[in-house]
Amino acid sequence: MPTIPTARTPDPRAAPALRWGVLGTGWIAEKFAIALQRNTTQQVYAVGSRSRVGAQAFAARVGAPTAYGSYEALVSDPRVDVVYVATPHNYHHAHGLLAIAAGKPVLIEKPIAVSAQQAGELAAAATAAGVLCMEAFWTLFLPKYDVLGQLVGDLGVDTVLADMGECFPPEHRIFDARLAGGPLFDMGTYPLSLALWALGDPASISAYGAPTDQGGYGEINGALSIAMQATGGGLASLYTSIVAATPTTATLAGPGHTIVIDGPFYQPGGFTVTTPDGARVRYDEEPVAHEGGLHFQAAAVARHVAAGELGSAIRPMSDAVRLLRVMDEVRRQVGIALPL
Ligand SMILES: NC(=O)c1ccc[n+]([C@@H]2O[C@H](COP(=O)([O-])OP(=O)(O)OC[C@H]3O[C@@H](n4cnc5c(N)ncnc54)[C@H](OP(=O)(O)O)[C@@H]3O)[C@@H](O)[C@H]2O)c1
C-alpha cells in the first residue's frame, strides 16, 4: 500500500513581505488580493485600473492604500515591488511587457499570453531586463500538487484523463471573441497543463471543437475535446467546456495504480490512490478554492524576488511557452482566431 508523502511547500507566511501592485480589478484580482491578505504577510499596496473610480472602488474593497487610474501609473510607482497582471488573456502580453519595461518582476494570470510567440517575447524581455516573469498557474504551487508530484514520480503515470466544464452567464467575458473567449484559454489551461506536467513534452495532438452561438461578439467554441500523445508514449484524453458543467475531475494512472483527484481537480481538495490489489488510500484537505489557494504562488514569487531569482522551477517560463505551443496547435486544428 503506498503511503501519501508529506507536502514540502514552504510556509507562505514566512515568505519575505513585498508590496504588490494589482493590475486590473476584476474577479480574479479580488480573489488574489483576499488570498494574500488572509494567508500571507504580503501587502496589497496598490491597484491600477483603466479608470480612477474603478481603482478607488477596488482599493476600498480590499483595503489597498494606493489607487491609480492607469496601468502606467501603477507600474511606475517606485514603491511597487512586484506586479500581478489580472486582465483578460489577450492583454497579458502588453501588460506584462509594461511591467517589465518599468523594471518590475511580474506574475501574469494564466495563460500567460495567447500564443507561444507572445510568451517567448515575455520571457526574453524579462531575461533582458533581469526581472522575474512567471505564469500564475496557481495549481502547481498548492501543497496538494507537491504531494501529487511525488506520487507521479514514485508510481509512474502514463495516462491522464481530465475535464473542466462550467456554465457561465451569457454576458460573461468568456463568450466575448474580442477578449479571446471560449474554453481554450480560460479552462483548457488546466487539463492541458496537467497532462504536460504528468506526461512531459507532446509528440502529437488531435483537437475537436464544438461552436456555440452564445455570446454575440463573434464566433467562439463552446467545447473542446483534445487527445494528446507525449514523446514518452503517455496518452491524455482532455475535455473542456463553457456550455456544459462536467465533474472537473482528473485521473492519473500508471501500471496498476490510479490516482483520482476530486473535482475541481485544480483547486485544493482530496484525491484517492488505488493500488494494483485494490487497496485505497485517501489524501484529504479542505477544498477551500481561490481565496484559500492563490497565495502559494505569490509566496513563491516573493521568495524568488527576494533571492534575486528570475523564475520558478515549479512553473518555469519554458512550461508556459510549451503550453501555448499546444494551444497554438489546438487553435490551428479547430480554427480558433485570435482577436485583432
Ligand atoms: N487562476 C484562476 O483561477 C483564474 C480564475 C479566473 C480568471 N483567471 C484569469 O484571470 C484573467 C482575468 O479574468 P477575470 O475573470 O478576473 O476577468 P474580469 O473579471 O473580466 O476582469 C478583467 C479586468 O481586466 C481589466 N481589463 C483591461 N482591459 C480590459 C478589456 N478590454 N475588457 C475587459 N476588462 C479589461 C478590467 O479592469 P479595470 O477595468 O480595472 O482596468 C477588468 O476588471 C484571465 O486571463 C483569466 O484566465 C484565472
**178 and 327, same domain (yes or no):** yes
Written as nine digits, the cell of 179 is 477578449
Give the distance (Å) from ligand 1 centre to CA of residue 140. 21
Q: Write the DSSP symbol of residue 146.
A: H
**264 and 322, same domain (yes or no):** yes
CA-294 nearest atom, ligand 1: 1
* Domains: count for the chain: 2
Residue 152 lies in a domain: yes
Give the distance (Å) from ligand 1 centre to CA of residue 320. 19
**H or E, element range at 155:** helix 143-155
**146 and 167, same domain (yes or no):** yes
**Which mutation among 23, 25, 28 tests ligand 1's pocket best, with the greatest number of atoms within 8 A of CB?**
28
**157 and 106, same domain (yes or no):** no
Give the distance (Å) from ligand 1 centre to CA of residue 200. 29
Cβ count within 10 A of residue 159 = 17
Residues 6+ apart with CB under 8 A from 143: 7, 9, 268, 285, 296
Ordered strands of the 202-212 beta sheet: 202-212, 220-230, 235-241, 159-165, 250-253, 258-261, 271-274, 280-283
Give the distance (Å) from ligand 1 centre to CA of residue 28. 7
Euclidean distance between CA atoms 263 and 260, whole angstroms? 9
Choosing from 112, 138, 164, the residue where a domain stops is 138
Indicate if ligand 1 lies below 6 Å from the C-beta of 69.
no
pLDDT digits (tens, 9 = 90+) for 267-322: 999 999 999 899 999 999 999 999 999 999 999 999 999 999 999 999 999 999 99
Choosing from 138, 158, 183, the residue where a domain stops is 138
Q: What is the CATH number of the domain that holds 233?
A: 3.30.360.10
Give the distance (Å) from ligand 1 centre to CA of residue 88. 4
**245 and 153, same domain (yes or no):** yes
**178 and 266, same domain (yes or no):** yes
Residue 157 lies in a domain: yes
Indicate if ligand 1 lies below 6 Å from the C-beta of 109.
yes
Give the distance (Å) from ligand 1 centre to CA of residue 13. 27
Residue 3 lies in a domain: no
What is the residue range of 123's domain? 12-138
Residue 108 lies in a domain: yes
**267 and 163, same domain (yes or no):** yes
This prediction has a pTM of 0.98
Q: What is the CATH number of the domain that holds 71?
A: 3.40.50.720
Looking at every residue in the chain, the average pLDDT score rounds to 96
**158 and 267, same domain (yes or no):** yes
Contact present, 306 and 132 (Cβ < 8 Å) = no
Residue 310 lies in a domain: no
Q: Whose CA is nearest to atom 7 of ligand 1?
A: 28
Residue 1 has a pLDDT of 62
Residue 205 lies in a domain: yes
Q: Whose CA is nearest to atom 8 of ligand 1?
A: 28
Euclidean distance between CA atoms 200 and 175, whole angstroms? 31
Residue 316 has a pLDDT of 98
**196 and 327, same domain (yes or no):** yes
Q: Which residues of the chain, if any, have pLDDT below 50?
A: none
Residue 82 lies in a domain: yes
Indicate if ligand 1 lies below 6 Å from the C-beta of 173.
yes
Give all strands (DSSP E) within 131-275, no chain letters.
133-136, 159-165, 202-212, 220-230, 235-241, 250-253, 258-261, 271-274
Indicate if ligand 1 lies below 6 Å from the C-beta of 178.
no
Burial zone of 95 (CB within 10 Å; 0-12 exposed, 13-18 middle, 19+ buried)? buried
Choosing from 138, 170, 201, the residue where a domain stops is 138
**328 and 225, same domain (yes or no):** yes
**230 and 279, same domain (yes or no):** yes
**54 and 151, same domain (yes or no):** no
Residue 94 lies in a domain: yes
